[in-house]
Amino acid sequence: MKEISKAIDPKRTGISKSLITSTALCNRKGWFSEHVRTADGSRVPLIAPERVAFGVALDEAILFIAQSIRDDERWTLGDAHALGVKAALGRPHEDGIDWDKFANDLMVALELFAYDVLGMPGGTPLIDFRMSLLQGLDGESIRVRTGEFGDVIGTPDFIIAGETRPDGRDLVLDLKSSARIKSEKDLRSAEMSFYAYLYAQKWGGDLPSVGYLTYVRTKTPRYQILVGEATGEHLRIAEEYLKTTKFVVARETQEEVGFTTSMCRSCEWRKANPAVGFAGCSVGLLVADGEVEE
């Protein structure tokens, strides 16, 4: 079976989905992610808290399962679990993670995926991975060249072929791990709008369906599948996000860029990073010291 990597080129250029969503959360967050680089021009590797490490593990494990189904290869939950834990351990992460609990939680998530999403044993799957693209174009980011925005790039988790869908539309599906369920409002998010735009630019024709496969990580965990049809509204929203992101990253200094303070305490750009000559977000440092109310 061909190995499909989730790794994205850290030296990539262009307006990406992650850049769009970072900028949507806070303009400075987007600006930092584009301008703060290592000596070789790579994006700064960020330290993952437990929730992000868990998302990495779940992504890797379910990618393996989906690819095995598509390529008609044998797979086990144990194999998927081992790959997920290895992926989480292999990237920078915070100290103090309870790895035994982490591993147990991941196995619960995979067992629920097998039963609830794949319909095992013997049931009907809610998502059919037998005809699909994985991680963009099987590990290669989708890149389109536009006149107004330059390179626009993204790597959706799954593109499920319309032949396997009740509505006949391709489905751009993103896997999430979250403490809350998704709502209809989330289907018009920066992320979903961006994917609809990227799909339209790449393939044209009918717009796809877009949606989330969310592992709702609560006391009683479960999977939620939320899908809706992309429309012209998604494309117009995406263009507005692209315009804003292009404007923000063109600024020369962080002081020229707007900000919000609602997420400062958990923002990875709040603290200084001397290894790359980054002094920290001037606003985030104030919030951390209690000088600005959130």
CA angle 148, 151, 155 (to 5 degrees): 130
Which helix or strand (DSSP H or E) is residue 31 part of? helix 27-35
Domain membership flag for residue 1: no
Nearest Cα to 214, choosing from 191, 198, 234? 191
Domain membership flag for residue 294: no
Sheet with strand 132-134: strands edge to edge = 132-134, 158-160, 171-178, 209-216, 222-229
Question: What values do phi and psi take at 178, rounded to 5?
Answer: -150, 155
Secondary structure percentages of the chain, helix, strand, coil, to 5: 45, 15, 40
Count: domains in the chain = 3
Residues 135, 244, single domain; the answer is: yes
pTM (predicted TM-score): 0.90
Residues 163, 187, single domain; the answer is: yes
pLDDT in tens, 226-258: 999 999 999 999 999 999 999 999 999 999 999
pLDDT at 288 (0 to 100) = 60
Nearest Cα to 211, choosing from 179, 245, 171, 249? 171
pLDDT in tens, 211-222: 999 999 999 999
The last residue of one of the domains, among 100, 126, 152, is 126
Residues 159, 241, single domain; the answer is: yes
pLDDT at 289 (0 to 100) = 57
pLDDT at 252 (0 to 100) = 95
pLDDT at 9 (0 to 100) = 74
Query: For the chain, which ranges sit under pLDDT 50?
Result: 291-294
pLDDT at 291 (0 to 100) = 46
The last residue of one of the domains, among 58, 92, 126, is 126
pLDDT at 293 (0 to 100) = 42
pLDDT at 153 (0 to 100) = 95
- Residue 199's identity, in one-letter code, is Y
pLDDT at 216 (0 to 100) = 98
The last residue of one of the domains, among 109, 126, 143, is 126
Domain membership flag for residue 40: no
Residues 142, 212, single domain; the answer is: yes
Residue 83 belongs to what domain range?
47-126
Q: What CA–CA distance (Å, rounded) separates 134 from 173?
A: 10
